[in-house]
Amino acid sequence: MTELSKLSAPERAALTQQLEQRYNAFKAQGLKLDMTRGKPSSEQLDLASKLTVVLAENDYKGSDGSDGRNYGGLDGLPEMKAIFADLLGAPAAQVVVGGASSLTLMHDTVVRALLHGVPGSSAPWGRGPVKFICPAPGYDRHFAICEHHGIEMLTVGLNDDGPDMAEVERLVASDPAIKGMWCVPKYSNPTGTTYSESVVKRLAAMKTAAPDFRLLWDNAYAVHDLYAEGDKLANVLTACAEAGNADRALVFASTSKISFAGAGVAALASSPANIADVKRHSSIQTIGPDKLNQLRHVRFFKDYAGVLQHMTRHAELLRPKFEAVTEAFAKDLDGKGVASWTKPRGGYFISLDTLDGCASEVVRLADSAGVKLTAAGATFPRGKDPRDRNIRIAPSMPPLGQVKIAMEIVAVCVLLASLKKLGA
C-alpha cells in the first residue's frame, strides 16, 4: 500500500479517475442509505418484544407491596433499584430510578444545579458564569444541554485511555467557574474509548477550584460489550469516595439500548448526600415514576445477570455490522495515510478521522452518492470540529448488507476528498 501523499502527480490523477468511476457507479444505483442514527435496529428491539405482554392482569405489585398502578415509589421499585445498583456500581440505597430517559435525568440535574446549586455549593451555579469540560469528540446532546443553558464549553482532547488528564487537571485547578465535566466513560460516543483505571482515579482525586464540581458520568454503554471479554471500567463512585470527594460523581444509565429506546427505564446513582438532594427535587417534580414499566422490565430481565445475558444477543446482531465497517475501511484505506478509525469493543459508534479539512467534503460526497452520514462537526461543542476531520459512523440501524455498501462508498469518498486535498 502506498501512501497517497507519496504518489507522483500522474499516479494521483490516474487513481482519481479510477475512484471517480467507482463513485459514479455507486451514484447511478440511486441508493438511500442512512448511517446517521445511533438507534437499535428493529431486530434488536424484537429481542425484548415480550416486554409488551410480560405482565399478567393481576401482576401489578412490587416486592414492597406497592401498587404499580398508583402514585408513589419516588425512587423506584426495590427490584428495579437492585438491577441498577449492579449496573451502576452503587448500593441500592444510592440509586434513584427515574422515567424512561437518562438524558432527561442529566438535563434536569444540570438545570437544578443552575437554579439551586448542589450539596457543597455556596450559591446556585447560575449566579455566576458556568463552564463545563467537554472531552471531544463526544456526544452532541451533552453539548446541546450546555449550549441551551448558556454553559461555556471547554473542549479537551480524548486520548485512547480517556480525556487528556494533564489538560483537565490544569483547567479545573485554576478556574472556579468550571463546575462540571461530561464523561461517557465506557465505549464513549463516538470513539468507543473506555477510560483507564488511572484516568478514573485522577478524575476522582484531582484538585478543583470549584468546591461543588461534578462529573456527569454518563455510563450509557455500561453493558454494551460486542465480545465476551468486554472493557473493564473502574468504579467512579468508589474512586471518588476513596479520594475524599464522595459527592463528585453522578452516574447515569438507561435501558434505552437494552430494552426499548425511549420506552425503557433510566436511573442515576451517587453519594448519599447527592441522592438525598435529587429526591428532594424530584419529589417536587413528580408524584412517582412509571412503576408498571419498571415491573415489566423486572419480570422480563429478572436480575442483572438476565440483563447481561440479553446483551449477548444484542452483540450477536451488532458485532457483524461493526466488523463490516472496520473491514471496509481496512480494505480501501489501510496504509494510505489519509484516515484512521477506532475499533471499539462495544457501544454504538465508530469514529473516523480523515485528513484535516476533509470531513465535511466526505460527508457531502457520501450524501450525493446516497449515503447519509452524521454531519461533520456534530461530535464537537457548537457543532464545530476545529480540524474538520471527525465523522461519527453509526452502524446499528441499517441491515448488514447496507452497512457494507455504505462503508465502501464512504471509503471511496475519503480517498477522493484526500486526493483533492493533496492537490491531485
Residue 193 makes contact with ligand PLP by CB under 6 A: no
Nearest Cα residue to 216 out of 86, 342, 74, 113 = 113
Grid coordinates 417534580 are at which residue? 285
In the complex, minimum distance from the CB of residue 398 to ligand PLP, in angstroms, rounded to a whole number: 16
Compute CA 174 distance to the chain's CA centroid, rounded to the nearest angstrom: 28
Return the biggest CA–CA distance within the chain: 78
Provide the CB-side half-sphere exposure for 364 (13 A, CA): 8
Count interface residues toward ligand PLP (CB under 6 A).
Answer: 13
Q: Note whether 15 and 7 are within 8 A (CB).
A: yes
State in angstroms the smallest separation of the CB of 322 from ligand PLP.
15
Told to check if 84 binds ligand PLP by CB under 6 A, we report no
Q: Is 236 helix (H, G, I), strand (E, B) or coil?
A: helix
SS3 263: coil
Work out how close the CB of 396 gets to ligand PLP at its nearest, in angstroms, rounded to a whole number: 10
- In whole angstroms, how close is the CB of 377 to ligand PLP at the nearest point? 17
Binders of ligand PLP among 18-47, rule CB under 6 A?
38
Nearer to ligand PLP among residue 300 and residue 348 (C-beta): 348
Answer whether 406's CB lies under 8 Å from 398's CB. yes
Closer residue to ligand PLP in complex, CB, 208/256: 256
Between 300 and 349, name the residue whose CB sits nearer to ligand PLP.
Answer: 349
- Quick check: 250 and 364 in contact, CB under 8 A? no
Residue 27 or residue 39: which is nearer to ligand PLP going by CB?
39
- Residue 98 sits in the site that holds ligand PLP (CB under 6 A): no
In the complex, what is the shortest distance from the CB of residue 188 to ligand PLP, in angstroms, rounded to a whole number? 8
- Measured in residues, the chain has a length of 424
Choose which of 218, 225, 277, 388 interacts with ligand PLP (CB under 6 A): 218
Beta strands in 113-224 (DSSP E): 131-136, 152-159, 162-163, 178-183, 214-218
In one-letter notation, the amino acid at residue 359 is A
Please, what is the minimum distance in Å from the beta carbon of residue 214 to ligand PLP?
Answer: 16
Nearer to ligand PLP, 155 or 256 (CB): 256
Which of these ranges, 95-103, 236-244, 355-363, 405-413, lies near ligand PLP under the rule CB under 6 A? 95-103
Between 5 and 41, name the residue whose CB sits nearer to ligand PLP.
41
- 187 near ligand PLP (CB under 6 A): no
Q: How far is CA 358 from CA 300, 366, 388, in A?
A: 46, 12, 6
Enumerate residues 230-259 that contact ligand PLP by CB under 6 A: 254, 256
Q: How far apart are CA 282 and CA 276, in angstroms?
A: 10
CA separation for the pair 391, 374 (Å, rounded): 7
- Tell me if 162 contacts ligand PLP by CB under 6 A: no
Q: Which residues bind ligand PLP (CB under 6 A)?
A: 38, 101-103, 139, 184, 189, 218, 220, 254, 256, 261, 266
